[in-house]
Amino acid sequence: MNRVILAYSQLRGDLPAAQRERLRAQLPYARRLRMPFDAGSQSQTYLGLALASRLLSDASGRQILPSELRFTRAGKPFAPGCPDFSITHAGEWVLCALAAGGEVGIDAEESGAARWSEDRLASWAAKEATVKAAGATLAELAQVQLRGRRIAFRGRSWYCRTPRLQAPLVVRVVTERRVTQLLLRPVRCESALTA
């Protein structure tokens, strides 16, 4: 059984500077050095890591702090000994998917503001989610082959799901193992950041 939980939150504006600094101090030193400079990107990153910590805590039965997260060379966050997760953001929305089994990647694109068609956005989101799941980089995006709900990449087959959120987003969740249950969990921004 591969249950995937998708937590999502709306971030309206930047987090206050004092709150961003408090959240920054909770990150591993190497990650702090790679934080974006602008307040908007920092706010999205901190909220994504807070959502991940909440999902990981629920899954493991113990509190997982952002300071426990590690990052691959490609920048993908992980928590040693815990289920795989993936974070994305688009516009005001920040999302985190956690898979009970195997690797997971998520991508979201704003559907209303885009110059692309919904189909093209969906293809892009599926490819980017696949690259994230595999721990690859965007340089390998052209190698992702879409085949309906199945995807081929790096000699492996991947599964794609299309969650429907109460947000103007095109979202794709890609997993190494077939998803048997997809749970959508809206989380208030303030709640995620205080957990």
- Residue 98: pLDDT band (50, 70, 90) is very high
Q: Is the pLDDT of residue 116 over 90?
A: no
**Higher pLDDT among residues 195 and 89, named by residue:** 89
pLDDT digits (tens, 9 = 90+) for 122-180: 999 999 999 999 999 999 999 999 988 899 999 999 999 999 998 899 999 999 999 99
Which helix or strand (DSSP H or E) is residue 118 part of? Answer: helix 118-134
The residues near 67 (Cβ < 8 Å, ≥ 6 apart) are 26, 27, 28
In this prediction, residue 148 carries a pLDDT of: 83
Q: Indicate the pLDDT class of residue 55, thresholds 50, 70 and 90.
A: very high
Q: What is the pTM of this model?
A: 0.94
DSSP character string of 32-83? HHT--SSHHHHHHHHHHHHHHHHHHHHHHTS---GGG-EE-TT--EE-TTS-
- pLDDT of 82 > 70? The answer is yes
Residue 141: both structure tokens together: 């995006």
The structure tokens 């939980």 sit at 5
Are 66 and 49 in contact by the 8 Å Cβ rule? The answer is yes
Percent of the chain with pLDDT over 90: 77
DSSP run (H or E) holding 143:
none
What average pLDDT does the segment 1-25 reach? 93
pLDDT over 80 at 112, yes or no = no
Residue 182 burial (CB count, 10 A): 16
Mean pLDDT value across the chain: 93
Q: Which residue has the higher pLDDT, 116 or 91?
A: 91
- Amino acid of residue 192: A
Q: Residue 113 pLDDT > 80, yes or no? A: no
